[in-house]
Amino acid sequence: MTSSFKPLSQDLSHPSQGNWPLAIELKQVGKNFAARNGTLHFAALTDVDLQVRAGRILGVIGPSGAGKSTLIRLVNGLEKVSSGTLTLLGEDATHYSEKEWRSLRGKIGMIFQHFNLLSSRTVYDNIALPLEIQGYERKSIDARVRELLPLVGLEDKASHYPSELSGGQKQRVGIARALASKPNILLCDEATSALDPDTTKSILFLLKTINRQLGVTILVITHEIPVIKDLCDDVAVIDQGRIIESGPVFDVFTNPKHAITARFVETVTHVEIPAHLVSVLQPEASARGAALVKITFTGQNATSPVISHLTNIIGADINIVAGRIDAISERPFGTLLVSVPAEPIVLQACQAAILALGLTQSLLGYLAPSHADARVYEWAEFLRTPKVVEA
């Protein structure tokens, strides 16, 4: 076997440009399971259309019982489709025999939530296992394992047993084992669900590196929205066996069409109005009060210096009340809640400036001046009032 691995780098720009071929395609796929009484059928998947272009990362997200595991089990041949067609790497695999699946499986690697390592084998031997099964010579197996160990950051753990590894290290072994036969496709079934947030981040970074540097197409199923946000290029939302929404992650996250998608997305994009303001928010402006405005930053406009424009150019007193700026599919996205003077001319100028900067805004309500603000206004009034100087 020859090496196709390049050293790791921080450059994770996308290699898949233009109209690359489809690595995975499901057309009108249905999957029925026999119900308990043996007569009725339970439809776990209905009319599923899904396309994963070569070199991209697609995440399928949905609530428990939605059909995610069933979907991935169809793609690795553990279950057969009941209707529709399944095309893998350009070949119609809908009616593949077990023998045909065995030869295809070398091109499809899989990693699991609970790692599925053999406890009696060392890290080295776990990674070597699929190559031994495929009958490779010991020398080429050794070359391949020694190439994979540094890729997943486990050079110093080759002789350790799974019981001596952390969860993140076990998943790295799982990833190396899945890559052993140089697959074109990597399937991930809840690969980070058993890991803590920091370890999840490092595993997602490793998966992205594998995709960007080796060009491996990745299909991820998950119920964790950060996995979609930090790893995937495209997303499909599944509910009750049907794909209800799909598209590039940035587009779906910033403009969800379906209520279930909106609920998932809300956990990473939503900014709460602070509790102490919710109770005092009013529908009408009051004298010297403020307007609460939500500003949404997307894509290239996300870096607009909006606050400094509003304060320096318009001269408005802006107070940041809450906010979050994040990256979705490596593109900035954020929301800021700001209070702006409710005086109509100032508020309108601010709203026009926000729109001119290419950002979106909405008026959430009005706030009465705080006690401290009222005191400041009183003092300003006092200073402006001409004083009678006694002779």
Ligand X SMILES: Nc1ncnc2c1ncn2[C@@H]1O[C@H](COP(=O)(O)OP(=O)(O)OP(=O)(O)O)[C@@H](O)[C@H]1O
* List of residues contacting ligand X (CB under 6 A): 33, 42, 44, 62, 64-70, 223
Nearest-approach distance from CB 3 to ligand X, in angstroms? 36
User: Of ligand X, Mg ion, none, which one does residue 77 interact with (CB within 5 to 8 Å by kind)?
Assistant: none
Task: Pinpoint the alpha helices (H) of the chain.
Answer: 68-75, 98-105, 123-133, 138-151, 167-179, 197-214, 225-231, 249-254, 259-269, 275-278, 306-308, 344-356, 371-384
Nearest-approach distance from CB 379 to ligand X, in angstroms? 60
* Choice between 258 and 309, CB closer to ligand X: 258
User: Of ligand X, Mg ion, none, which one does residue 227 interact with (CB within 5 to 8 Å by kind)?
Assistant: none
The closest alpha carbon to 56, from 253, 181, 210, 200, belongs to 210
User: Of Mg ion, ligand X, none, which one does residue 347 interact with (CB within 5 to 8 Å by kind)?
Assistant: none
* Choice between 68 and 144, CB closer to Mg ion: 68
User: Of Mg ion, ligand X, none, which one does residue 240 interact with (CB within 5 to 8 Å by kind)?
Assistant: none
Structure tokens at 55: 């070199």
Structure tokens at 93: 């695999």
* Choice between 89 and 187, CB closer to Mg ion: 187
* Choice between 32 and 360, CB closer to ligand X: 32
Q: Per-residue b/e over 146-155, b at no fewer than 16 CB within 10 Å?
A: ebbbebbebe
Nearest-approach distance from CB 267 to ligand X, in angstroms? 16
User: What CA–CA distance (Å, rounded) separates 154 from 149?
Assistant: 5
The residues of the shown chain that bind Mg ion, judged by CB under 5 A, are: 68-69
- What is the spatial order of strands in the sheet that 22-34 belongs to? 41-53, 22-34, 83-88, 91-92
* Choice between 38 and 135, CB closer to ligand X: 38
Q: How many other C-beta atoms lie within 10 A of the C-beta of residue 35?
A: 10
User: Of ligand X, Mg ion, none, which one does residue 67 interact with (CB within 5 to 8 Å by kind)?
Assistant: ligand X
